[in-house]
């Protein structure tokens, strides 16, 4: 459920809702709209340290508002579930009483049905008494019918309230999962801000230098696609290079393999191609499984992942890609040999990266628009 849908659902469709809830939801929606507009405006401005700090702070504030809106919804649902529980208890007691009353009246109603009207003549003292007895029986029969109708209505209402309570419990579970997701995102954003401040040292020159280094690496990769020398066909598992630190200091900070996959010249998550593997996750800590494809990994076990694909604490540097890291950064504890994950044609290139650095790049054309890239090799 998107944020806009969540707020629209909160304000319009979830009735009845108290004025306080509606007022809070409207205020949150207004603040969210203002922040979203601010973020759009910031993204269109020239890169500067202050702009990036303001952008990060705005994203943190937006995530906090999302959390507030979800908590408001969970609170509202909790209140409605409690009210439904009280109503269900009341209906259950009423249902029990009416069921007992119907069960008691059934034998009496049966007796009245089996006594023919002509028998009332013998039971009546006179004609007026006879008419009174007939009218009494008609009244009792109408009351019995009304009682059965009330019983069925109570049963239906009881069932509807139980179903509604279950629906709201499921909605609450969905919002609880959303809350956990948004809370984790907020933690990530705060960590990203701290890493950003540590990296840039809150200095404009350092910030611009890091941006320039990331862009230089991307430009070197683009030139390699045009100028690389064809090495020849290779098979899956063939060694193609050694992990290195080429490009230092202009566009590398230490020995590692930057492994990237492009499909029709668009960046894609390498995990879509690599087989599932549990690696040491140095970016977020602990161990984590990556990969859902069939390719073997380009490095041997055991592998340490220093930066994921996508949004990372360091990906603010990659403004050219919309702020995502375009591959996997990894190191092997046992071997520096890089092996081809699939058959293809191998190419090799050396490109300037920064004012005084040379980065060495290998890439493999696997056909069908799929290329894999290997950066910083020896």
Provide the pLDDT for residue 150. 62
Q: Residues 194, 314: one domain? A: no
Per-residue pLDDT tens over the stretch 254-304: 999 999 999 999 999 999 999 999 999 999 899 999 999 999 999 999 999
* Residue 100, pLDDT above cutoff 50: yes
Residue range 334-363: mean pLDDT, rounded: 95
69 and 167 housed in the same domain = yes
pLDDT in tens, 214-225: 999 999 999 999
230 shares a domain with 163:
no
Residues 275 and 359 in one domain: yes
- What local confidence, expressed as pLDDT, does residue 97 receive? 72
Indicate if 132 and 212 belong to the same structural domain.
no
Q: Which of 140, 174, 200 is the last residue of a domain?
A: 200
Lowest model confidence (mean pLDDT) among 155-159, 226-230, 271-275: 155-159
Please give the pLDDT value at position 188: 87
Please tell me whether residues 181 and 311 are part of one structural domain. Answer: no
Q: How confident is the model at residue 198 (pLDDT cuts 50, 70, 90)?
A: very high
Q: Give this prediction's pTM.
A: 0.68
Q: Are 37 and 175 within one domain?
A: yes
Residue 165 and residue 217 in one domain = no
Residue 325 has pLDDT above 80, yes or no: yes
* pLDDT of res. 125: 54
The least confident of 156-165, 212-221, 308-317 is 156-165
**pLDDT for the residue numbered 278:** 96
Interval 323-332 mean pLDDT: 95
* Boundary (domain end) residue, out of 181, 200, 219: 200
Domain range for 192: 3-200
CATH code of 97's domain: 1.10.287
Q: According to the model, what pLDDT value does residue 41 have?
A: 83
- Give the C-alpha distances (Å, rounded to integers) separating 238 from 46, 188, 296: 45, 38, 11
Residue 192 has a pLDDT of 87
Residue 367, pLDDT > 90, answer yes
Residues 317 and 275 in one domain: yes
The pLDDT of 28-55, averaged and rounded, is: 84
Residues 145 and 191 in one domain: yes
Domain count, the chain: 2
pLDDT of residue 4: 42
Half-sphere exposure in the Cβ direction for 166 (13 Å, CA)? 6
pLDDT reported for residue 138: 55
Residues 182 and 237 placed together within one structural domain of the fold: no
| Beta-strand pair 358-367/344-352 | antiparallel
Residue where a domain terminates, one of 200, 223, 243: 200
Q: Name the pLDDT band for 6 (thresholds 50, 70, 90).
A: very low
Same domain, 135 and 187: yes
């Amino acid at each position: 459920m998107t944020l806009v849908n969540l707020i629209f659902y909160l304000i319009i469709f979830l009735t009845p809702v108290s004025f306080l809830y509606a007022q809070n939801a409207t205020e949150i929606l207004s603040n969210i709209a203002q922040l979203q507009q601010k973020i759009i405006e910031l993204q269109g401005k020239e890169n500067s340290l202050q702009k990036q700090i303001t952008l990060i702070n705005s994203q943190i504030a937006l995530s906090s508002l999302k959390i507030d809106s979800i908590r408001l919804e969970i609170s509202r649902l909790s209140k409605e579930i409690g009210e439904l529980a009280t109503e269900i208890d009341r209906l259950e007691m009423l249902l029990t009483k009416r069921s007992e009353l119907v069960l008691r009246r059934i034998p009496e109603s049966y007796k009245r049905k089996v006594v023919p009207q002509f028998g009332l003549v013998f039971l009546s003292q006179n004609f007026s008494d006879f008419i009174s007895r007939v009218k009494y029986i008609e009244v009792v029969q109408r009351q019995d019918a009304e009682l059965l109708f009330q019983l069925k209505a109570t049963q239906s209402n009881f069932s509807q309230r139980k179903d509604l309570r279950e629906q709201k419990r499921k909605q609450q579970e969905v919002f609880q999962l959303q809350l956990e997701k948004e809370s984790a995102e907020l933690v990530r954003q705060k960590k990203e801000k701290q890493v950003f401040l540590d990296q840039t040292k809150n200095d404009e020159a350092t910030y611009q230098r890091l941006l320039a280094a990331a862009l230089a690496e991307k430009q070197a990769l683009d030139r390699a696609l045009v100028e690389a020398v064809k090495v020849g066909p290779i098979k899956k598992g063939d060694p193609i290079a050694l992990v290195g630190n080429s490009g230092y200091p202009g566009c590398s900070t230490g020995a590692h393999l930057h492994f990237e996959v492009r499909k029709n010249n668009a960046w894609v998550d390498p995990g879509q191609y690599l087989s599932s593997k549990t690696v040491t996750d140095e970016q977020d800590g602990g161990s984590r499984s990556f990969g859902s494809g069939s390719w073997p990994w380009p490095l041997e076990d055991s592998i340490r992942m220093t930066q994921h694909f996508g949004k990372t604490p360091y990906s603010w540097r990659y403004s050219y890609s919309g702020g995502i890291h375009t591959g996997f950064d990894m190191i092997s504890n046992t071997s520096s040999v890089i092996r081809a994950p699939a058959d293809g044609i191998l190419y090799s290139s050396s490109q300037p990266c920064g004012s005084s650095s040379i980065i060495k790049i290998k890439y493999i054309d696997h056909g069908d628009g799929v290329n894999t890239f290997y950066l910083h090799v020896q």
